[in-house]
Amino acid sequence: MKNLYLSLVAYISLSLLSINVSADVVIIVNPDSSVESLTKQQITDIFLSKAKSFPDGSLAVPVDLSEDNEAREIFIKSVLNRRQSQIRAYWSDLIFTGKGSPPKKVDFPEDVLDLVANNPNIVGYLDEDEIDDSVKVVYRVNQ
Amino acid sequence: MNRGFITSTAVIALLFSPISAFCESTEQLEERIEKLEKDLEKANKRSRKYYDRLNKKISNQGERVKLNAFASAGLAKSDSQYSTFNEIDETTINTQADSILGVQMSFQVNDKTELTTQFVSKGGQERHNTRTEWAYISYTPNKNVKIRAGRMRIPYYMLSESLEVGYSYNWVRPPAEVYNLTSNNGELFDVILSKSISSLNLNWQIFGGRLVESQRLTNQQEVRFEADDVLGTAVYGNVGDFSGRIGYVTFDFSSVNSSERVLELTALTESLGLGSIKLRETKTQYLNIGGKYDNGKTQIMGEFYTSDFEDTLLSITEGWYLTAGYRIGDWTPFVSFAKVRTTNDDDREDAINALLNIPGPVARSVIFADGVPPTLSGLPDSVINEQARSIFVNQVAQPTAITMRRIFNFRQQTTSLGVRWDIKPGLALKLQVDEISGFEDTRGQLNVGNDPSGLPAPLTDDSVIVNSLVIDAAF
């Protein structure tokens, strides 16, 4: 019984630890953007190309990370509420009917940071550890 | 004052002052180092930006050409030896009905202009003849406007444009009760206007052009339609996980190349003033409404359409489907129900009754158009008329009644159970069982051969089970 209790404590503290270890994923825009915060739905609409602009009406251009990126998995799961295969199915519909194309993908987090820091229309997502004050956080994924 | 004291104080002061001075400069140095580091970082960033830009220029050259493809390969078998659905029957495992390959290339001319072509090769009735499904130029003057022109699929219904991309939906194939047009292409232009109002994202599509369509009737007759005044519109959009679409298409067929039988019937019904079974110069309208809910786990989708062809005895139909699925990990089990019926059976029944009760003199003018045969000459008019009427009923009215009731009237419903397994992104396997029934003495959308007299044979199945397996891919 004591062993069970101990292992339970160990498990809980370990799981708490793992939350601390993996940083949050944040949605970022350019500091010059008038956008201060976005809702999950607004982010979803922009990243699925359903909305072409930010709530203030300015052009919104999402930028995606390549598929092997951990932040992408978290973003798709926690913000878009989908799985990678569902996202693929969604885009296959739009690609083959000419109604839309998925956001441009970049390979490295620094590229996202760089693009967002230099263009007020771009919105991206990154692991919190990857960002600096050259960008503005408008949504934080609570894991 | 003691000199020694002064000296020692001076020494101590000397000893300590540089230390304190050094202490201060350490902080300053740290600050300076920090500042230098920041400067260096900025400089690094700047140079990286420069290289990035160069790299982007290079990679943009590559990104100007996009290549995508989709493919489906399926197996299907039904339990009927008397009828076929999509050429699927009981005798063999059909490997063609659901097999398809599509390749799409697009070339970004500049920021706003893109050229796209899509080639599709389909099995089943099309025998893998490669078609140019899409070939258009698109121009996007700003984020809210898209203009396209060229060869495109006609957006009749919610899924009409993406019908062939099996990977984009859960079924093995979309419900035949709604998606029963075999060809959907035209030379079109369209304008898509997009606008977001709060959380509502709206799109308004306006399109027009001409269509050349080959449609296979349920009796396997190939009919070719042409219309050069296609006009339509669709409004679609979403609020969160809810999306919907309403669409309307109208056109007048300018030319219809019908089969001989249809031409004969056309001439006859027209001469008797019963309405036409041709579609030429017939105002044709399709109205469709559809909706979808998808929160990533629960998926519900439904659609209804109704069509109207002015002054025709050919089939006018309406149909709908409702499907729901629930995703558990990589598996999405789903159920689906679809129904279709012809809505102008009464018009045909009126025509049939008129034909069966044809007045003797009218029958005589049709049957003995070239003159009364010698065997009957000299007999009273009433006898000749009665003879003509009897020949007409047996040789014309009865066969027409059978053809109209069995081919032009139809009712059908399909209940489907299936599961989609997402093996990995871009690859899915689906299993589906359909029970097709509700024919109500019609042949539904099934194909049945002719009886020995050459007339459409009745359907003997009460229900038909179709088992299907398909692998869908999208690259």
- Given a cut of 50, whether residue B14 has pLDDT beyond it is no
CA distance A131 to chain B (A): 14
B240-252 average pLDDT score:
93
Q: Is residue A1 part of a domain?
A: no
B214 band by pLDDT with thresholds 50, 70 and 90: low
Domain harbouring A109, CATH code? 3.40.190.10
Cα–Cα distances in angstroms (integers) from residue A132 to residues A31, A136, B30, B34, B88, in the given order: 11, 9, 21, 16, 61
B48 band by pLDDT with thresholds 50, 70 and 90: low
Residues of B in contact with A43 (CB under 8 A): none
As a whole number of angstroms, the distance between CA A46 and CA A66 comes to 18
Tokens 């209940």 belong to which residue? B415
- Given a cut of 60, whether residue B13 has pLDDT beyond it is no
B338-342 average pLDDT score:
95
- Given a cut of 60, whether residue B2 has pLDDT beyond it is no
Higher per-residue pLDDT: B59 or B405: B405
Higher per-residue pLDDT: B70 or A22: B70
B223 band by pLDDT with thresholds 50, 70 and 90: low
Output the pLDDT for position B279.
58
Does B170 contact chain A (CB < 8 Å)? Answer: no
Q: Is residue A16 part of a domain?
A: no
Q: Do the chains contact at A92 and B165, CB–CB below 8 Å? A: yes
Cα–Cα distances in angstroms (integers) from residue A111 to residues A53, A54, B50, B142, in the given order: 22, 21, 12, 26
Output the pLDDT for position B215.
59
Q: Which CATH superfamily is domain B68-343+410-474 in?
A: Porin (2.40.160.10)
As a whole number of angstroms, the distance between CA B246 and CA B303 comes to 10
Output the pLDDT for position B328.
94
Q: Is residue A38 part of a domain?
A: yes
pLDDT, tens digit, 9 for 90 and up, residues B310-327: 877 788 899 999 999 999
- Given a cut of 80, whether residue B270 has pLDDT beyond it is no
Q: Is residue A72 part of a domain?
A: yes
* Residue B210 burial (10 A CB sphere; 0-12, 13-18, 19+): middle
Q: Do the chains contact at A98 and B153, CB–CB below 8 Å? A: no
B282-292 average pLDDT score:
91
pLDDT, tens digit, 9 for 90 and up, residues B379-409: 888 888 888 889 888 888 888 888 888 888 9
pLDDT, tens digit, 9 for 90 and up, residues A76-123: 999 999 999 999 999 999 999 998 889 988 888 888 888 888 888 999
B104-125 average pLDDT score:
89
Beta-carbon contacts below 8 Å between A and B: 91
Q: How far apart are the first and last CA of chain B?
A: 95
State the average pLDDT for chain A.
84
pLDDT more than 90, % of chain B: 40
3-state secondary structure B243-304: EEEEEEEEEEECEEECCHHHHHHHHHHHHCCCCECCCECCEEEEEEEEEEEECCCEEEEEEE
Residues of A in contact with B237 (CB under 8 A): 50
Q: Do the chains contact at B68 and A95, CB–CB below 8 Å? A: yes
User: How many structural domains does chain A have?
Assistant: 1
Candidate from B161, B425, B474 with C-beta closest to A97: B161
Most confidently modeled range among A34-38, B199-203, B305-309, B335-339: B335-339
CA distance A39 to chain B (A): 10
Q: Is residue A69 part of a domain?
A: yes
Q: Do the chains contact at A96 and B168, CB–CB below 8 Å? A: yes
Q: Do residues B293 and B238 make contact, with C-beta atoms less than 8 angstroms apart?
A: no
Cα torsion angle, B28, B34, B40, B42, sign: negative
Q: Do the chains contact at B201 and A96, CB–CB below 8 Å? A: no
| CA-based nearest residue in chain B for residue A79 | B296
| CA-based nearest residue in chain B for residue A121 | B143
- Given a cut of 60, whether residue A20 has pLDDT beyond it is no
Q: Is residue A57 part of a domain?
A: yes
Output the pLDDT for position A7.
59
Please tell me the number of Cα atoms within 13 Å of B92 on its side-chain side.
Answer: 5
Q: Do the chains contact at B138 and A98, CB–CB below 8 Å? A: yes
Q: Do residues B334 and B420 make contact, with C-beta atoms less than 8 angstroms apart?
A: yes
B428-452 average pLDDT score:
90
State the average pLDDT for chain B.
83
B336-365 average pLDDT score:
88
Domain ranges of chain B: 1-63, 68-343+410-474
Output the pLDDT for position B474.
94
ipTM value, please give it: 0.79
Higher per-residue pLDDT: A47 or B10: A47
**Helix, strand or coil, per DSSP, at residue B116:** strand
Output the pLDDT for position B256.
64
Residues of B in contact with A82 (CB under 8 A): 296
As a whole number of angstroms, the distance between CA A126 and CA A112 comes to 8
Tell me which residue range forms the domain holding A48. Answer: 24-140
- Given a cut of 50, whether residue A18 has pLDDT beyond it is no
| Structure tokens that stand for B300 in this block | 């519900």
Q: Do the chains contact at B161 and A53, CB–CB below 8 Å? A: no
Candidate from B70, B143, B330 with C-beta closest to A53: B143
Q: Is residue A9 part of a domain?
A: no
Q: Is residue A66 part of a domain?
A: yes
Angle at B293 between CA B292 and CA B295, to 5 degrees: 145
Q: Do residues A57 and B394 make contact, with C-beta atoms less than 8 angstroms apart?
A: no
Q: Do the chains contact at A83 and B48, CB–CB below 8 Å? A: no
B418 band by pLDDT with thresholds 50, 70 and 90: very high
- Given a cut of 50, whether residue B49 has pLDDT beyond it is yes
pLDDT, tens digit, 9 for 90 and up, residues B123-171: 876 677 788 889 999 999 998 999 999 999 999 999 999 988 999 999 9
A34-40 average pLDDT score:
89
Higher per-residue pLDDT: B280 or B230: B230
- Given a cut of 60, whether residue B122 has pLDDT beyond it is yes
